[in-house]
Structure 1
Amino acid sequence: MLDIKITRTTCPKEKPQDESKLGFGKKFTDHMFVMDYTEGEGWHDARIVPYAPFQLDPATVVFHYAQEIFEGMKAYRTADDTIQLFRPECNAKRMQDSADRLCIPKIPVEDYIQAVEALVDVDRDWVPHADGASLYIRPFVFANDVGLGVHASKHYIFCIICAPSGAYYAEGINPVRIYVEDEYIRAAPGLTGFTKCGGNYAASIKAGELAEEQGYAQVLWLDGVEKKYVEEVGSMNIMFKIDGKVYTAATVGTVLP
């Protein structure tokens, strides 16, 4: 169990007044969770501190070799004013899978959940009340060794930040236009398609921009070998209901669980 030190802000931010105009990931709460990793010592110094920038050397490994992973989850305010998470253990396990592929030390599931719950509790007043809105939670880990050379870092930072957010799509819970991408690929067997690492998303931006130029909200990716089998949409898994049966993409290491 983590011994989380809590330092509360002395300058709280103004909370959003109109929760119908939150947008997605635009405004952040008062605090963040931070924990360090040192080879030989493991994860240590768990703390919740006022939200603030990191000071990083220009030669920090993550800038050059993209050794980082992240997760995305939400906290919801219920009708009786309690705050709930949705299956945080699944996000914790998925982050462990991402960590293994990127050679990043794993965070124990129970520590991950404790950290998320502690931060949400400290910033619970930021969880929106409006229907369809939630507190978006972004846990992430990045390598912070200083020096150039392609190898696994010996130091990492685990951080969690939160943002009160509305619908991801401007259209809200309504049909969105999807563009079938048949030139660029998102992932191929043996690569990192099953992980949440920034490189996957950076490589998807080009296709996303081309789709947006044509009036589409998201890209539907095809497989990286024959470019004819459906895999996933940029921001979600996809399923089809055909003759009463639900079909999803095969899990061959290219689709995010």
Structure 2
Amino acid sequence: MSAFGSVFMPEMAITWFDGSQWSEPEVVPSDSLQLHPGAHVLHYSSTCFEGLKAFRHEDGSVKVFRMDRNIRRLAQSSELLALPSFDEDMLEAMTRDILTRFKSEVPAPPGSMYIRPTHIGTEPIIGKAAVPSLTSCLYVLLSPVGDYFTGGDKPLRVLLDDKGMRCPPHMGMVKSGGNYASALQPIMKARAEHQADQVLFCPGGDVQETGAANFLLIDGNEVITKALDSSFLHGVTRDSILTLARDMGMDVQERELTIDELLERSARPGCEAALSGTAAVLTSVGTLIHNGQEYQVGNGGIGETTVKLRTALNNIQWGKADDKHGWLETI
């Protein structure tokens, strides 16, 4: 079986900004992209992207989940990286066009079509370390993916890092490759030394996010997660899960959460912790590792409420429950 996100549709939608205007979007082969070796993105990381999904429903229709929110976030990332601005309607049309071409390839549940809009700086100049790229490229890749939990739904082991940060605070809201690269070494070290699956960055004891997901603590009827600010990524899945938790009558608290409170609450029977993101939706955390000690979260297994919230979101995405919030758009 191919690794998640390693298979691509043979074509992609693309447009280029020449410094004054965007080219007419077109569909081209997705096996290569021609860039000058001095392209700004290759030297100064002027890159941002999004991850969203399209789902096949029982009636054969294809729906995209929260496309407007993801496109808006890419526009925000582009602005924060000083990349050329683009028309959000243009990107939506590009996404719809390429999805329509490969509509028949959208897998049935629990699979989906992963959509990766990407924006990169293309100006061929290596003297612009502190100056933005005047030209850029915007493209949309499609990758059919299967069930994220093909190997079984297993609770994660997460290392709490109170010294480092995933990225500089002013870059937190940007969905940029540089932020993922910044988290790579700490994650690799945590895997080698503690067999951890992820690192939860908690600078100064402030619980923020992992290298690739938002963090939620579920204690009885309470859902606690860091309040939105510029230091971390504003996850679309995070927002969706919190909305559904409120719909279920849960007490959603977006506030500061310290390591001390996290460890104290995690020892309680029935307590759960979870990571939220586009790929896995919501994944249970069974063990927290801090200062060489391991702390079991609740019973250390798959959280009952975590599964309930994930199922509720999946059911909307797959057309098995009403889309009361208008999150799905038909292709």
Identify the TM-score tier after normalising by the shorter chain: 0.7 to 0.9
Amino acid in the other structure paired with 2:123: D
The answer to whether residue 139 in structure 2 is matched with residue 139 in structure 1 is: no
204, 215, 240: which one aligns with 2:195: 215
The answer to which of 106-115 and 133-142 deviates more is: 106-115
Alignment of 1:1-257 (within 5 A): 21-40=1-20, 42-129=21-108, 131-150=109-128, 151-168=131-148, 171-189=151-169, 191-213=170-192, 214-223=194-203, 226=204, 228-257=205-234
Assess if the C-alpha contact under 8 Å between 2:54 and 2:63 holds in 1.
Answer: yes
> Are residues 22 and 82 of structure 1, via their aligned partners in 2, closer, same or farther at CA, if it must alter by over 3 Å?
farther
> Are residues 172 and 35 of structure 1, via their aligned partners in 2, closer, same or farther at CA, if it must alter by over 3 Å?
farther
Gap runs ≥5 in structure 1: 1-20
> Are residues 128 and 181 of structure 1, via their aligned partners in 2, closer, same or farther at CA, if it must alter by over 3 Å?
same
Looking at secondary structure, tell me which structure has more helix per residue: 2
> Are residues 196 and 31 of structure 1, via their aligned partners in 2, closer, same or farther at CA, if it must alter by over 3 Å?
same
- Shift, 1:180, TM fit: 1.7
Amino acid in the other structure paired with 1:152: P
Cα deviations by residue, 1:201-249 (Å, 9 ceiling, x for unpaired)? 11010011122223222221213xx2x1111122221211235222111
Assess if the C-alpha contact under 8 Å between 1:23 and 1:167 holds in 2.
Answer: no
The answer to which of 43-52 and 88-97 deviates more is: 43-52
Amino acid in the other structure paired with 2:145: S
> Are residues 235 and 99 of structure 1, via their aligned partners in 2, closer, same or farther at CA, if it must alter by over 3 Å?
same
Cα deviations by residue, 1:164-183 (Å, 9 ceiling, x for unpaired)? 11244665544222222233
> Are residues 249 and 133 of structure 1, via their aligned partners in 2, closer, same or farther at CA, if it must alter by over 3 Å?
same
Distance 1:239 1:183 in 2: 20
Assess if the C-alpha contact under 8 Å between 1:22 and 1:164 holds in 2.
Answer: no
Distance 1:37 1:204 in 2: 30
SS of 2:191 mapped into structure 1: helix
Structure 1 runs of 4+ off > 6 angstroms? Answer: none
The size of the alignment, in residue pairs, is 231
Gap runs ≥5 in structure 2: 235-331
Assess if the C-alpha contact under 8 Å between 1:24 and 1:168 holds in 2.
Answer: yes
Higher relative contact order structure (alpha carbons within 8 Å, sequence separation ≥ 6): 1
Q: CA RMSD in A?
A: 1.8
SS of 2:24 mapped into structure 1: strand
SS of 2:208 mapped into structure 1: strand
Identity across the alignment (%): 28
> Are residues 197 and 172 of structure 1, via their aligned partners in 2, closer, same or farther at CA, if it must alter by over 3 Å?
farther
Assess if the C-alpha contact under 8 Å between 2:84 and 2:135 holds in 1.
Answer: no
Give TM-score, length-normalised by structure 1: 0.84
- Shift, 1:22, TM fit: 4.2
Amino acid in the other structure paired with 2:211: G
Amino acid in the other structure paired with 2:135: H
Cα deviations by residue, 1:113-141 (Å, 9 ceiling, x for unpaired)? 21111111111222112x32111111101
